[in-house]
Structure 1
């Protein structure tokens, strides 16, 4: 229990709250899209973020909340996230929440590829293999004849592309901007762009009848991003990234609870492959960071060793195999059990990998109070993904 009271433990709890909020946002969006115009919902989601951030942070930061050294980059970043959100809001009207979320989780890998192309970052062969594996997982989910194969797949495809660009730009701004300032301008940019559009589709009757859903969407989006900011202020990206994939489990569970949808066997396998490649990418980041610091894993070079590696591998792949065996032999009727396996794979292995007696996965970090305010140790802005 002492671990969960540490800065890293609190960061993990906050990141799990963020993924729960984002899965709730997606589920609420899918339902609310049947009650009110989607463009009105999208406008209010950004208006809520801008107003809530200003109300919460201006009394603390004063005018510094509004000061930015990169107004053009802030505007471009806001536009990229707005396009991402629009693809999400419209795509969820046609696609199941669980499968949609799994495809979107390919974004960090796509961002790695985009950074290699635009910023000339060096990407190892193992990381390219992980990206290829994640793409194969997507193909299993969206295969012809499957539950989600339709023209609506264009929405998550565009979303992955724009969100990857968004993440690369976020990395570019990370050393120069306060995350709350960026969070505010992201909401403000979306509000300014969407206000004239929402006016064309305005429905006063729908707004007055279903205003609690508007508020709920704004709350989930803003709350989730604030949880991300606070999480990255307490722990590093290499510690927190694997837990982002718990959003797939939450989204799949909500899809079953609220929309009575359960992915088919091949989709489950694809979801598992996507999550495995994403978590593997995070674990590889830890390994490469340790190596770059001149402190390779115990026992010399080569593959990672030790209890953390076997804890991760054992829990992760055991959970995946049990889910795959159940879906191929006699498909699970118990969604709770299948979701639990996803959680074990994406989250449980990471917990095992961070046990205090395993030095490989314990990345030394400065205490949170010694970091420059608003910057996360990963070298990118905390929050907004």
Structure 2
């Protein structure tokens, strides 16, 4: 009886590998677009208020998303089983974006993304009381070490980063709760619905503020980059969704950290900035802690998978 099973397995495994390789390529492309988005926001902050940049990012993304996902092409895409949670999640993402765009005006790109890399640590810590996913002693130790890495980057009280670093920390907190809300919504709404609500809610929330912060872009280049922020952000999130359709999050998560490479390269190429040794050391600690958490998550799920195969 084992004869017929082996060919099926041998044909299935190459297809799985191919899907995962495509997913890894997509996730690497997504973080490249996110790095370009932060670079654009930092460059534009010399010409306009971050509030205007955030609005352009959400409005442009909303237009792009609604061209692909709308009630006519995807009937029922606006139907949600958790409207309040959708709204809260969208506002958390908006808050994270706003705080990050203000912080990146004063900080180096590598510094802001290094702090944001602490979000998986905070998610693992808060998932206990919120989702009942309590971390064990090894994971708690990794979380503690990771937060030490954030302190190494920010160096509070030691004349380290610009005070805007605290905005990155709060942005990281918002993003962590956004990730938890996204995880909860995955059980009720498809990702397309969640993506539509993110763009629409963010744009609507920003509309009342725009008259107070709007300044007319003075050159075609500024106009082009401002309008491009929405397309870059929307396309990056679309690649993210496609990647998670083809491979589990545990496979893709390590490649998200490749964003630090793009941020360092773009920070040096566009702004002539290169992170100092403290940032490198702190980022290494944070990334290592995140990867260890991912490893523990895989180890925890192996017995469950083996039991199902038996």
2:106 and 2:281 map into 1 onto residues whose CA distance is 21
Show the counterpart of 1:108: 120
Structure 2 spans left out of the alignment, 5+ residues: 1-13
For residues 128-165 of structure 1, what are the alpha-carbon distances to aligned partners after superposition, in whole Å with 9 as ceiling and x for unaligned? 11111111111111125878523212211111111111
Query: Residue 210 of structure 1 is aligned with which of 211, 216, 222?
Result: 222
Task: Out of 233-242 and 65-74, give the one that drifted further.
Answer: 65-74
Residue 16 of structure 2 corresponds to residue 22 of structure 1: no
Residues 58/281 of structure 1: CA separation in 2 closer, same or farther (3 Å cut): same
Show the counterpart of 1:140: 152
Show the counterpart of 1:244: 256
Show the counterpart of 1:227: 239
1:44 and 1:154 map into 2 onto residues whose CA distance is 24
SS at match of 2:47: coil
SS at match of 2:189: coil
Show the counterpart of 1:131: 143
2:163 and 2:134 map into 1 onto residues whose CA distance is 35
Residue 89 of structure 2 corresponds to residue 67 of structure 1: no
1:183 and 1:211 map into 2 onto residues whose CA distance is 25
Residue 161 of structure 2 corresponds to residue 119 of structure 1: no
Show the counterpart of 1:270: 282
Deviation at 1:111, TM superposition (A): 1.0
Show the counterpart of 2:210: 198
1:194 and 1:12 map into 2 onto residues whose CA distance is 33
Q: Is the 8 A contact 2:217 2:223 kept in 1?
A: no
Residues 34/285 of structure 1: CA separation in 2 closer, same or farther (3 Å cut): same
Show the counterpart of 2:11: none
Deviation at 1:169, TM superposition (A): 0.9
Residues 209/9 of structure 1: CA separation in 2 closer, same or farther (3 Å cut): closer
TM norm structure 2: 0.89
Deviation at 1:273, TM superposition (A): 1.1
Query: Residue 161 of structure 2 is aligned with which of 149, 164, 167?
Result: 149
Residue 269 of structure 2 corresponds to residue 257 of structure 1: yes
Q: Is the 8 A contact 1:137 1:274 kept in 2?
A: yes
Deviation at 1:208, TM superposition (A): 6.5
Alignment of 1:1-385 (within 5 A): 6-58=18-70, 61-144=73-156, 148-206=160-218, 210-294=222-306
2:230 and 2:72 map into 1 onto residues whose CA distance is 22
Give the superposed CA RMSD.
Answer: 2.2
Deviation at 1:120, TM superposition (A): 2.8
Deviation at 1:30, TM superposition (A): 0.4
For residues 263-287 of structure 1, what are the alpha-carbon distances to aligned partners after superposition, in whole Å with 9 as ceiling and x for unaligned? 2222211111111111222122111
Q: Is the 8 A contact 2:71 2:77 kept in 1?
A: no
2:88 and 2:204 map into 1 onto residues whose CA distance is 13
Q: Is the 8 A contact 2:24 2:255 kept in 1?
A: yes
Q: Is the 8 A contact 1:49 1:184 kept in 2?
A: no
More helix by share: 2
Larger RCO (CA within 8 A; separation ≥ 6)? 2
Structure 1 spans left out of the alignment, 5+ residues: 297-363, 365-385
1:229 and 1:274 map into 2 onto residues whose CA distance is 25
SS at match of 1:191: helix
Residues 283/5 of structure 1: CA separation in 2 closer, same or farther (3 Å cut): closer
1:103 and 1:162 map into 2 onto residues whose CA distance is 12
2:160 and 2:238 map into 1 onto residues whose CA distance is 32
Deviation at 1:59, TM superposition (A): 7.4
Q: Is the 8 A contact 1:103 1:156 kept in 2?
A: yes
TM norm structure 1: 0.73
Deviation at 1:220, TM superposition (A): 1.5
